[in-house]
Amino acid sequence: MTDVTPFGDRLAAAFAASGKLCVGIDPHASLLDGWGLPDSAEGVREFGLRTVDAVAGRAGIVKPQVAFFERHGAAGYAALERVLAEARDAGLLVIADVKRGDIGSSVEAYGQAWLTPGSSLEADAMTISAYQGLGSITGVLEAAEAVGKGAFVLAATSNPEAAAIQRAVLQQSSRAGSTVAEAVTAGVIGWNEGRADAAKRALGSVGVVLGATADLRSSGIDLDVDPPRPGLPVLAPGFGHQGAELRDLRAIFGSLAGGVIVSESRSLLGAGPDGLAEAIRRRVDEVGAASV
């Protein structure tokens, strides 16, 4: 394809226009009840559409958590397709939180489902797992690059039970001696640096997931070196409901702070359908102040 705008460029533009807040679309059963909606495909569709309406014109990024749609089967996926389409039509960047991972043609098929232009599940980026090796997702990253899409690779997530694996030290690898989280992060930085036009880009098109409540230094991630070039997009859950404070953003992420996307869901969605737009507006301002 020609004249494709890289995902990293579109993310940088969203940062400049609308800030770094990403609103999760997570229709938990308890939130559906609080919004007066049924726990059904119709309920999650309405929840998603109302959230998109509240985000549009206030923030620039949404992240549907696919699991809450998927649990309603085919009808839930139909609801998700509608929400994704409405979000794209509203000019929002959409990160599909799917956390897919596999090898060979299987993982490439996942990438085709979520990142192919014109797909009913089309998003701008997807979350992806590389715990079968970064090489296992190379085909997805190459295909995403060709059509201006992005990916966020799980590196150091905020759930505490993941720490034992993410801090495990590699024994047989080109990055032997590194933790799993460190190797994933360094590999993604290397991927972005290896693009032909890397020197011209403010942000790479492949990022990592680093939880704001994770102990990143204990995970082996060096936060004191100069920021990578292009900048590393960091999808950062953990603020808001999970307890991380925006005032600590730079202390948490160090040299990677410039690429941090503050991802929040329940802390905003709990405001309900009538209060969500105002909650988003306030949070965008707070994130902007913390990011300066």
Question: What gap in Å lies between CA 218 and CA 168, rounded to an integer?
Answer: 11
- Which of 109, 111, 120, 112 shows the shortest CA–CA distance to 86? 120
- What residues have CB less than 8 Å from 44, skipping those under 6 apart? 27, 32, 37, 68, 69, 72, 76, 79, 80
Buried b (16+ CB within 10 A) or exposed e, 107-133: bbebbebbbeeeeebbbbbbbbbbeee
Active site residue 20: no
Question: What gap in Å lies between CA 118 and CA 88, rounded to an integer?
Answer: 11
User: Of all helices (H) and strands (E), which one includes residue 284?
Assistant: helix 272-291
Give me the catalytic one of 20, 99, 149, 200: 99
- Which of 137, 124, 108 shows the shortest CA–CA distance to 6? 124
Give the residue numbers marked as catalytic: 99
